[in-house]
Amino acid sequence: MTRVYNFSAGPAILPQEVLEIAQKEMLDYKGTGMSVMEMSHRSKVYDKIIKTTEANLRKLMNISDDYAVLFMQGGASAQFAAVPMNLAVNHKRIAVVNTGAWSDKAIEEGKRFVEVDVIASSKEQNFTFIPDVDKLQIPSNVDYLHIVSNNTIYGTKYNKLPKTNVPIVSDMSSSILSEEINVNDYACIFAGAQKNIGPAGLCIVIVKRSLMGKEMSITPKLYSYSATDKEESMLNTPPTYGVYLAGLVFEDLLAKGGVKAAQKRNEEKAKILYDFIDNSKLFKSPVNKSDRSLMNVPFLTGSDELDSKFLAEADILGLVNLKGHRSVGGMRASIYNAMPTAGVQKLVDFMQKFENNNK
């Protein structure tokens, strides 16, 4: 068996320990004689899996009973419609800060249901920074402000939130569980699973209960937060195996010291990479220093030819999926929770060698 260091932006690397447990339990989950995949979602055994998964996420993120935790489907993209249908119900108007493709998509989808006010944008500079949150003019007649906490493609992240009474909705698909946050600062947090949580297909939604239950009448039942909550995320067959794997990831994270310890590891890993890039004569980071992501690190040589050469040589060394998104070019290392420090160190060692060889 050869495992590579997988720097994919998502679906992404998962902890090897988790995959090994899943492998061990594949044919016979805890003496049931069947795989979790083959199990009724209404069975007692599965009920325990989904309840424990939720309880562990609550523990990891310190989520109070004021918030519902929902296991939904349709990826994070389904939430671009579900959030306005559920939460943009008073003013039928939302504010969005445009920090990249995933806010663009939320804007486009939101417009199908409500008025969308794009109150700031970094589009003109190819999303290389986060607009100053202290300068945001957030209208008071909006139902919420939509932000993308971490911009997977461009490698930017918010380091602080705007001070506002307007409820904040955050797409945390690529940063959930990577650093400590205060859930109480948000009206709603959602995240597709395929980066820090588990396999694609599952989307986690954390939503303030006091805002639920007023959804638009056009809201499909499967997109309704209150209906999903009432049926404990079992309006229909949930993505059973995805929830089980998320549960294993949460247990693994708890055993490794929770989100606080994960954040420390992530900061150390990111520092190794950013320090190298900042001192390099060949590689550059396109991102504003104070807005740099802990999870997604784009870097460029400035030459398409050298970038291709780098990617090909890295691949041979087992450093894979480093190609940057087409809208940024160059390389991007996604260093999610499950990426070991050794993987980042091996990448930096190779970057140094490549730089020496290509002066």
Ligand X SMILES: Cc1ncc(COP(=O)(O)O)c(C=O)c1O
Residues involved in catalysis: 102, 171, 195
CA-CA-CA-CA torsion sign (56, 62, 66, 68): negative
Q: How distant is the alpha carbon of residue 20 from its chain centre?
A: 23
* Beta strand ranges found along 122-270 (DSSP E): 144-148, 150-151, 156-157, 168-171, 188-192, 203-208
- Residue from the set 107, 148, 177, 181 that interacts with ligand X by CB under 6 A: 148
What string marks each residue from 192 to 231 as x (binds ligand X by CB under 6 A) or -? x---------------------------------------
Q: How distant is the alpha carbon of residue 141 from its chain centre?
A: 29
- Residue from the set 63, 76, 138, 270 that interacts with ligand X by CB under 6 A: 76
> Which of 301/334 has CB closer to ligand X?
334
Of the ranges 155-163, 170-178, 318-326, 341-349, which one interacts with ligand X (CB under 6 A)? 170-178
- Residue from the set 17, 47, 75, 222 that interacts with ligand X by CB under 6 A: 75
In 119-257, which ranges are continuous DSSP H helix? 225-230, 240-255
Tell me how far apart the 2 most distant CA atoms of the chain are, in Å.
Answer: 63
Q: Does 171 bind ligand X (CB under 6 A)?
A: yes
Q: Does 10 bind ligand X (CB under 6 A)?
A: yes
Of the ranges 69-77, 205-213, 218-226, 341-349, which one interacts with ligand X (CB under 6 A)? 69-77
Q: Does 328 bind ligand X (CB under 6 A)?
A: no
For 51, 176, 178, the CA distances from 294, given in Å and listed in that order, are: 30, 11, 8
Sequence letter at residue 208: K
Q: Does 73 bind ligand X (CB under 6 A)?
A: no
CA-CA-CA-CA torsion sign (169, 172, 176, 179): negative
Q: Does 170 bind ligand X (CB under 6 A)?
A: no
Q: Site residues (CB under 6 A) for ligand X?
A: 10, 75-77, 102, 148, 152, 171, 173-174, 192
